[in-house]
Structure 1
Amino acid sequence: MSFSVKPTPLLIIALCTALAACADLPELEVSEAEFDSDTPYPEFVPLDVLLKEPEATITDETQDDLDTRREDLLSTPLTDTDDEDDALQKRIDALRKRQQELSKTPSASTQTVEESAEQSIEDRLRDRLENGIKPPTPSE
Structure 2
Amino acid sequence: MSFLDTSKRLAIIAFCSALAACSDLPELEVSEAEFDSKTPYPDFVPLDVLLKEPEATITDDTQNALDTRREDLLSKPVAQTEPNEDALQKRIDALRKRQQELSASTPSRTPEVETSSEQSIEDRLRDRLENGIRPPTPSE
TM beyond 0.5: no
TM-score calculated relative to the size of structure 1: 0.31
TM-score calculated relative to the size of structure 2: 0.31
- Give 1 or 2 for the bigger CA radius of gyration: 2
Higher relative contact order (Cα pairs below 8 Å, separated by 6+ residues)? 1
